[in-house]
A = this chain, B = another copy of it.
Amino acid sequence: MKGWLAIAGLGPGDADLVTPQVSAALEEATDLVGYGPYVARVAPREGLLRHETDNREELERARHAIAMAMEGRRVVVVSSGDPGVFAMASAVFEAVEAGPPVWRDLDIRVLPGVTAMLAAAARAGAPLGHDFCAINLSDNLKPWEVIARRLRLAVEADFAMALYNPRSKARPEGFGRALTLLREVCAAERVLVFARAVSTPEESLRVATLAAATPEMADMRTVVLVGSSLTRLIARDGGPLVYTPRSALP
């Protein structure tokens, strides 16, 4: 039997946001690999082996998935959101590059998904409606100086921003430092959206100006959207709409 490896994005949480392509791969799979809470989002069925791992063992998880596929298994590695955005796809390709040459012949497919920033933006309005960037605030894999530099340059470019992994128990201080930095270079009225666990029962959405934002508004399930200088609020009952106009003409 010819094995394959699919690296699939489960979207932000709601089953209605999983693409039919990903659902089909999950139906054909013999093995499911991923971080426990993501594996838990896939319904058990006969013939589907589940391999749950800790969130910090990405490279080992990738090697295990590749090795199983090389043995003829049909393996799906699951990520939340999109697998190519701060998720498992890069880890798998790092493992492929460092692994035995025969791993390059494996049938590997990346199945895209709705990444957290797009789901969060949709809930808020259209804050990413003009040029934007996505920055992972975790300093596990890059020095804080690189993050700080990117934040400053993103403000200088007047990008809207999506900040992934703003805050975790292991790194409680990073997002506070990012807020301090943003306050040095942006106006106090800059609009931020704190989107937590979008499309799940725990969803919450909070809009705040940079002046009013606090580190505690973010946790590890939050993506923070920072508007550009042109991002606007439309006041209405039930919370404002946030959008960035298409035009940056003077």
Residue A227 lies at the interface, judged by CB distance under 8 Å to chain B: no
A124 closest partner in B (C-beta) = B110
Asked if A17 contacts B21 (CB within 8 A), the reply is yes
Q: Which residues of B contact A24 (CB under 8 A)?
A: 16
Binary interface profile of A, 84-128, with partner B (CB < 8 Å = 1, else 0)?
111101111110110000001100111111110011011101111
In angstroms, Cα B198 to Cα A109, docked, is 14
In angstroms, Cα B113 to Cα A150, docked, is 27
> Which residue of B19, B104, B119, B134 contacts A132 across the interface (Cβ within 8 Å)?
B134
Interface size on A, residues (CB 8 A): 78
Q: Which residues of B contact A134 (CB under 8 A)?
A: 128, 131-133
> Which residue of B16, B21, B91, B241 contacts A96 across the interface (Cβ within 8 Å)?
B241
In chain A, residues 15-63, which have Cβ atoms closer than 8 Å to a Cβ of chain B? 15-21, 24, 58
Asked if A97 contacts B135 (CB within 8 A), the reply is no
In angstroms, Cα B146 to Cα A154, docked, is 13
Q: Which residues of B contact A234 (CB under 8 A)?
A: 93, 96-97, 104
In angstroms, Cα B9 to Cα A113, docked, is 12
A175 CB to closest chain B CB, in angstroms? Answer: 16
Asked if A123 contacts B110 (CB within 8 A), the reply is yes
Residue A3 lies at the interface, judged by CB distance under 8 Å to chain B: no
In chain A, residues 200-250, which have Cβ atoms closer than 8 Å to a Cβ of chain B? 232, 234-237, 241, 243-250
In angstroms, Cα B92 to Cα A245, docked, is 10
In angstroms, Cα B9 to Cα A208, docked, is 27
- 8 chain-A/chain-B pairs, Cβ below 8 angstroms: A17-B21, A90-B243, A93-B234, A105-B237, A112-B122, A133-B159, A141-B249, A146-B248
* Additional A-B contacts beyond A82-B114, A146-B248 (14; CB < 8 A): A11-B19, A16-B19, A16-B20, A16-B21, A89-B243, A90-B246, A92-B126, A93-B125, A93-B234, A96-B241, A97-B232, A104-B234, A104-B241, A108-B241
